[in-house]
Every structure is written in structure tokens, then in C-alpha cells.
Amino acid sequence: MKQLHHLLQRYYRKSGNKIIFSNENTLNQLALAMMEDLGFEGMDSSILSRVINGKRLFTQRQLNSFCNVLNLPIIDKLELEQCLLSEKIHKFDSNLSPTFSKSGKDTSNYFLIVKLLRNRGFPSETIEMANFFQKKILSTDLNQKNLTILGNINNEKSRAFGEISSPERVMSDMFKSNKIGKFIGEKYNNRAMKSMTYMNIGGGLYVAKQYNSSIDFLEHHFRFVAQNP
């Protein structure tokens, strides 16, 4: 798979000493537009220059901003996301990189990749990867297999939020993922998925320092799961 800075060459041309992007912005103008889009943090012309020259990678937020400012089609954005994540995953596990690069519409390895990233201590990358795979799953046939993978991915995403979110934000950060895991677990009566979702909710309450609520929630829901296998 091509490196990200190679793919980014599609979106600019050189005119003398200047770089002109597809929206006719110069490098400085595009960097300023991205800076504004990002809330005036995490972007300047030197960062953008280093990215397009292959000396550093975009963050996921920076890539989203790049795509938004240039108004790129969703298929281009997905390709750039896959390339970015492929380069990141190669740094964590070179054995997984070929698997990820070939993932396409075969969802079989999505959960494996997300779980391994979280287990190896990369919660932010776990969340990025989970978001990417969720988009891909939602663009395929939503059969029981794919929905089960989606539920498991969201449970890993929820656990990753539990590892990095503040006590004030953890429950809101985990909310959507827990909702998806709970819905799919109940839809297919998947006991393991339901149990993990309840564990995530209880763990989130604990991180939020709602200790009594955490204990009460876990006791109630695991008693329910045990009585309704």
C-alpha cells in the first residue's frame, strides 16, 4: 500500500516554488484554513509541509480537517484514513500491517486488530481504528456476522475510552459504543457481548467515581445475565 504522503500528492501541484492545492489554496493558506477548522490548535504550515513530504503523519483530526477543507469525496477520505492507519499499525505490529491493508470488505479480522491495539496499550489508536472499521461495516451487508463484529469492536472502543477519558467525560465518551454493544448483544442474545457491555458501563461508572452506582449496576446486571443465559 502507498504511504500517505504519496496519496496526498493527488491533491496538490507545484507551481514554481509554490504548492497549490486542489481548492487553489497555497500551503500557507491551506494550513491556516485547517488551523481555523481545528479550533486554532494542532496545525501550521510547517506541520503541513512535513506531512506532505513524508516526514511525519497527520493525526486523525488533522486528516479529517484536510479532507473537510478540500471537500474531498467520502471514498477518498476512507482511502486516506486506511493509509494513515496502516502506517500507524505498522509501527505497532508489522505482522498485522498486511492483514489490515488487505481488509477490504472482509470484516473477519477487524475485531482482532482493534483488540490487539488496545491490549498492547494504544487506546487512542484503538478508538481511531474502531471508528474506521465501523464505517466500513456500515457500508457492507449488515448480517449477523458483521453486526456481531460491530458490537465487539464497539465494546473494545468503550474499554479504550475507559482507559483515557477523564472522570467527568468517561460516561458520555462511552455512551454510543455501550449503546451499540447492548443493542446487538440483546438482538442476538449474545451473552458474552452483553456481559462485556455491562462490564464497560460498570467500569465507566467506577472511573467516574460513582463507586456505589458501579457496584449496584454490576451486581444487578450480572445477576440478570446469569438468570437469562
> Mean pLDDT throughout 193-221?
92
Is the pLDDT score of 182 beyond 90? Answer: yes
Q: What value does the mean pLDDT of the chain take?
A: 89
Residue 143 grid coordinates:
448480517
101, with CB counted inside 10 A (0-12, 13-18, 19+), is middle
Is the pLDDT score of 229 beyond 60? Answer: no
pTM of the model: 0.74
Tens digits of residue pLDDT in 111-155:
988 998 899 888 998 999 899 899 889 988 889 999 999 999 999
DSSP string, 185-224: HHHTT-HHHHHHHHHHHHHHHHHTT-HHHHHHHHHHHHHH
CB-based contacts of 154, cutoff 8 Å, min separation 6: 130, 134, 176, 177, 178, 180, 181
Tell me which of 174 and 105 has the higher pLDDT: 174
> Mean pLDDT throughout 49-74?
94
Nearest to 50 by CA among 60, 58, 41: 58
**Rounded to an integer, what distance in angstroms lies between the CA atom of residue 144 and that of residue 133?**
16
Tell me which of 141 and 171 has the higher pLDDT: 171
Residue 139 has a pLDDT of: 85
3-state secondary structure 149-187: HHHHHHHHHHHHHHHHCCCCCHHHHHHHHHHHHHHHHHH
> Mean pLDDT throughout 157-161?
97
**What pLDDT band is residue 85 in, cutting at 50, 70 and 90?**
confident
Residue 226 has a pLDDT of: 57
